[in-house]
Amino acid sequence: MGNTRFIPALTVALLLLNFVVSFSTKTTTNISIDQSALLALKAHVIDPQNLLTTNWSSAFNICKWIGVTCGSRHQRVIALDLSNMNLSGTVSPHIGNLSFLTWLNMKNNNFHGPLPAQLANLHRVKYIQLSFNGEIPSWFGSFPKLQYLSLSHNNFRGEIPSDMFEGQPRLQVLYFLAKDGLFGKIPMSLFKCKELQDISLANNKLEGILPKEIKNFTMLWTLQLHNNLIEVKTKSICTQFWHLKNLLSFSDCSIGKPQILSSSFIPNSLEAEFHLYQYF
């Protein structure tokens, strides 16, 4: 009878041990998914500088791999930065399995072929910067938390999908400097992104009249539409944005000399969130 009081304590200890083992197993399984996704990506690319070849190995902790950042709580991949690595080849569809990813930067490489549709599975992603060619895929509007999107200095061709911005209500920064590759009109879905602060659609072949809905952008700070065929029919649009840090000349607007800003503006809120996410 005297030992019966230890039974509840023993039960609690066993339950706690079971939870720890279960949690550890689940974490290992999830990080294995991330590791498999990145190893599949590695297998699809040509790496002339051997940056990934010598570092991305199952012999090392994935969170120590070059270009990879993990959250400290779940030890899942939250950021992937492969910018300026001179990589080429195609992107594996397995990248869509990085379910905790919030930051994706693959700019200034030489990837070719279509973007894999599995990228649309990255529902947590807030920052995307890519270098590709081909057409902008129709599913590219499937990022509900996206705040920063840069497809600058790409070889994209064709029209911007009409519904591309329907599912991106939190978008704050948009860079589409596409080397004369994009044509057609600015999609009306863009004007639903009322949190936009920085827009550049310069150096394309976009045409048509700039819609009056541009006045929806009450938070706008920078607007670059130069070297297009866009018409501005009302002076009120020009005066509406007298406060802009950088309003480049339109056919009907002449406000100072054009100044090219670098694609480096990242909202403070997004940068702060990225540092915070490292703890999850």
DSSP string, 221-276: -EEE--SSEEE---HHHHHHTTT-SEE---SS---S---PPPS----HHHHHHHHH
Which SS3 state, helix, strand or coil, does residue 69 take? Answer: strand
Distance CA 38, CA 52 (A): 10
pLDDT at 180: 62
Question: Which CATH number fits the domain that encloses residue 253?
Answer: 3.80.10.10
What pLDDT was estimated at residue 2? 52
Query: Would you state the pLDDT for residue 257?
Result: 37
Shortest CA distance to 182 belongs to which of 230, 127, 128, 143? 230
Cβ atoms of residues 73 and 97 within 8 Å: no
Q: What is the pLDDT of residue 22?
A: 44
Torsion of CA 39, 136, 85, 129, to 10 degrees: -100
SS3 93: helix
Q: Decide if 1 is inside a domain.
A: no
For residues 87 and 110, the answer to whether their CB atoms sit within 8 Å is yes
Question: Is 126 within a domain?
Answer: yes
Convert 15-59 into a string of H (helix), E (strand) and C (coil). HHHHHHHHHHHHHHHHHHHHHHHHHHHHHHEECCCCCCCCCCCCC
Identity of the amino acid at 43: A
Q: How many domains does the chain have?
A: 1
pLDDT of residue 85: 95
Phi, psi of 34 (to 5 degrees): -65, -45
Calpha distance 100→145 (Å, rounded)? 12
Q: Is residue 21 situated within a structural domain?
A: yes
Show pLDDT as tens, one digit a residue, over the chain (280 residues).
Answer: 555 555 566 565 555 555 444 444 444 557 899 999 999 999 999 999 999 998 999 999 999 999 999 998 888 999 999 999 999 999 999 999 999 999 999 999 998 888 899 999 999 999 999 877 778 888 888 899 999 999 877 777 889 999 999 999 999 999 987 676 889 999 999 999 999 999 999 888 899 988 888 888 889 888 888 888 888 765 656 666 665 655 554 544 443 333 333 344 556 555 555 455 454 4
Within-domain flag for 166: yes
Domain range for 133 is 6-277
Question: What's residue 271's pLDDT?
Answer: 58
Please state the pTM of the whole predicted model: 0.79
